[in-house]
Amino acid sequence: MFAETLRKVIDNVDGGIGGVIMGLDGIPVETYMRQKERLDINTIGMEFSFILAQVRKAADSLAVGTCEEMSVKAERLVLVVRMLDPRYFLAVALQPEGNFGKARYLMRLAAPRLVEQL
């Protein structure tokens, strides 16, 4: 079911490359790659699991509540991350010209279904 939800998000976003549900410890639960020749979403997720843990610490220390979403735009990649619970996140990689807004929207819609199963 994780795989099916991931696939629906990635395939319905222009420029969607792949997605992963991962623990903050960098261990993937489920992965989906639409464009297999491109960057590995597990490697991307692992790099950002560390950063996400730092963002959560910063949010704590600033007392602004829990971190809900994070996104990074690099020259050749856009990464959108949504926290599912305190331990797991959903990360979606897009091409730089991909539809960032739709990715965020579909991730928000998918989150409750994913959280139910974690």
| Contacts with its own copies, residue ranges (CB under 8 A) | 39, 43-44, 47-48, 50-51, 54-55, 58-59, 61-62, 64-77, 101
Using the structure block, give the residue that is written with the tokens 């792949």. 18
Question: Closest approach of Cβ 71 to its own copies, in Å?
Answer: 5
Question: Closest approach of Cβ 115 to its own copies, in Å?
Answer: 16
CB 111 within 8 A of CB 117: no
Buried b (16+ CB within 10 A) or exposed e, 11-38: eebebbbbbbbbebebeebbbbbbeeee
Question: Closest approach of Cβ 4 to its own copies, in Å?
Answer: 26
Question: Closest approach of Cβ 70 to its own copies, in Å?
Answer: 5
Q: Could you give the CA distance from residue 114 to residue 100 in angstroms, rounded to a whole number?
A: 20
In the bound state with its own copies, the residue whose beta carbon lies nearer, of 2 and 93, is 93
In the bound state with its own copies, the residue whose beta carbon lies nearer, of 21 and 44, is 44
Cβ atoms within 10 Å, residue 84: 19
